[in-house]
Amino acid sequence: MGGLFGNLVQASKALMANQVAIQVTGRNLANVNNPEYARQRVKMGDRYVDQTPHGPEGSGVEVLQVQQMRDAFLDAQVVRHASDTGSLDAQQTILANLELILGNQLNSAADPAAIADASNSTTGIGAAMDEFFNAFSTLAGNPSDIPSKSAALNAAATLADRLNLADQRVAGAQADQEGQIQSDVQTANGLLADIAGLNFQIRQAADVETGGAVQLVDQRQAKLEQLASLFKLDVTKDPNNSSEINISLGGVVLVAQAQLIHQIGYLSESAAATLSAAGSLGNRTQGFEIGDYDSTGAFTPAIVSTGGAAMLRPSDTVSGASLPAGTTLLARIDGSTVQMSQAATQTGYFSLTVNGVANARVAYSTAGSKIVTLSNSTGYEVVPSGGSAQGRFQATFGAPTATYITAKGIRSQIADLASAIRTQVNSIYNPSGTASDLFVSSEVPLGTATTTAGSRTISVADTSALVVGMHVYGAGIPSGATVAAKFNSTTFALSVPATASGASSALTAARNLLDVQPNLTSSSLLSAPMGSPASANTFALRIAALRDASLQWNSIVSGGPAFGAKFSDFGRGMVTSLAQTIQTVGTRADEAQVVGTAIKAQRDSVSGVSLDEETADLLRFQKAYQANAKVISVIDEMLSSLISMIR
């Protein structure tokens, strides 16, 4: 459109375009301190060009798009590192708290020798063991001295008290962390629902108004980063609409476009124990699940729709606790039974990994058999690879290794230590087994018990004396097992599955790991066998010598049975293993923090608001607005003159 009227239209469009640009620049400046905000830019231009007798003429400058300055790659990197940092920070906090609980703080950074010398910690179990052996060494030098006997008895009571207190505090920490994990799961599910809702709003805004979805995209990205700090999830763009995202965990879809398909659940230790004797879903284990909540808040795991063996193929590499390394699938026998290339090494349930990926099903094997049965009705059990919820679970309930000690491992280690002390000391103090022991364990005899390998459910004559949290000992019972739930007067559940099947007549439970014989006094404490001369020190001398005696027990720190280990090695091994774990996790957390900060700095260079740049843009758009206003004013004067001439 030519002439004055055409110029007037074009100037008006330019005026409005610069007005929008000023508004966007003002919004950028207003959000300069908002870390969730990505700066915006106005893209201006002609929507089309007409061919006129005078040549090509544009339709006039207008706002074509309000662009959000985001880098999808950097956003994805920030989300990924939020998961890594969340996991490592949670682990570091929990492990440091465990160090405080044990009373053994080893500052290897300030004192490199500390990590090799448990005596640096004067309030922990190691120090109590030193005091115990020192007290009996002193008693051996003066075996009839009542003050020395009193000191030895007090040292024994102190050692027992610290072991019991440490066990109770670690158990309390586990309960606290389990509550926090459940809270994290609820928060994550709320964020998943919010993201699904934002997907819908973003699609609507993108369809209605150019650039109208940018603020919603900011909100969604912020919620994604918050969600990633809790769980490491897979985030992808929807193939049918690039403005929407899909979220999955362990290959199971949680959010698809604007729909919340599934949610995350968490099965606690006690709940898993309760389910151990129930129906087809009774083989679920403690950990994270995928499923749905009903209106009452009850969680139901999603059922694997493909059945047990339907997704497995011959030659798949299959691994699990019951299968030797290198096992492959030979054939599917039916919908739930498969044949492996190697025989199973043990009987019971185990988690399945196929081609290196955790599988949603649970397998059951019989020792010596190549036939494995797969559950076709188990829920989606998932193992997140990052986020604070995963970090909490790993540090609290994860299986310990020789290089990574956990709260679960510490409890088992303390139980092993208490058992070793009780056994070794009592074998010296009461060699015939007919007199009084020095140490007892407040044992509750359970009589004849029936166990099934891979099952948590235990049948006994009477459970009335049992309390949730008590330690359980006996054939087929793993080290560190505790009472997780009581079903009725004759059955209860363990915190971990039994390792063997059969009947045991020596099953016991204990309120405390270790107690001093309650009837012992300073006067009745023996330094040597009853009837020995007053100068005899046989018992005291041999108990003191236990400090450096070579012993044998199941040590988690050493990765299995430890031969020739000493009590001092045992105590130091647990303490230093925890200290080394904290140091390793702390180093990784620091590295993740550095990388995360660098990535955020890179993203800020793209998406962050620069005061200098925005101020310059504001002046530029202001001048352009004033110039276009001047053009309109001049055209108005020209039109007024033209009208006056016509009159």
pLDDT in tens, 362-418: 778 888 999 888 765 445 667 788 899 999 999 998 888 778 889 988 888 888 888
How large is the average pLDDT for residues 92-113? Answer: 69
CA distance 394 to 91: 8
What does the pLDDT read at residue 142?
92
Q: Is residue 219 part of a domain?
A: no
| pLDDT of residue 92 exceeding 80 | yes
Task: Assign 543 a pLDDT band (cuts: 50, 70, 90).
Answer: very high
Q: How many domains does the chain have?
A: 1
Range of 646's domain? 1-69+608-647
Reported in sequence order, the residue ranges of 297-343 that DSSP labels E, i.e. its strands, are 299-301, 318-319, 329-332, 337-340
Taking only the tens place, the pLDDT of each residue in 19-68 is 888 888 888 888 888 877 888 888 888 877 666 666 676 677 888 877 77
What would the pLDDT profile of 494-522 be if each residue is shown by its tens digit?
887 787 777 766 788 888 888 999 889 99
Q: Quick one: average pLDDT of 599-620? A: 84
Q: Is residue 402 part of a domain?
A: no
Identify which of 544, 478, 609, 586 has the alpha carbon closest to the alpha carbon of residue 143: 544
∠ at Cα 120 (116, 125), nearest 5°?
95
- Quote the pLDDT of residue 420: 84
290 confidence band (pLDDT: 50, 70, 90): confident
pLDDT for residue 112: 43
| Residue 3 pLDDT > 80 | no
Residue 404 lies in a domain: no
Does residue 449 sit within a domain?
no
Rounded average pLDDT over 163-190: 92
* DSSP structural state of residue 118: G
pLDDT of the residue at 122: 56
DSSP alpha helices (H): ranges in 31-71? none
The pLDDT value recorded for residue 1 is 54
Please tell me which residue, 486 or 122, carries the higher pLDDT value: 486
Provide the pLDDT confidence category of residue 113 given band limits of 50, 70 and 90: very low
pLDDT of residue 306: 37
DSSP code, position 119: G
Q: Mean pLDDT in the chain?
A: 81
More confident residue, 141 or 294: 141
What is the predicted pLDDT for the residue at 44? Answer: 84
Nearest to 351 by CA among 395, 399, 387: 399
| Domain-located, residue 60 | yes
User: Is there a domain that residue 572 lies in?
Assistant: no
**195 occurs within a structural domain:** no
Please identify which residue in the block is written with the tokens 């399945």: 352
Closest CA to 245 of 202, 206, 190, 184: 202
Burial of 516 (0-12, 13-18, 19+ CB in 10 A): buried
Is the pLDDT at 361 greater than 70, yes or no? Answer: no
HEC profile for 197-245? HHHHHHHHHHHHCCCCCHHHHHHHHHHHHHHHHHCCCEEEEECCEEEEE
- Residue of 372, 358, 383, 380 whose CA lies nearest to 327: 372
Q: Which residues contact 46 (CB under 8 A, 6 or more apart)?
A: 58, 59, 60, 61, 62
Is residue 36 assigned to a domain?
yes
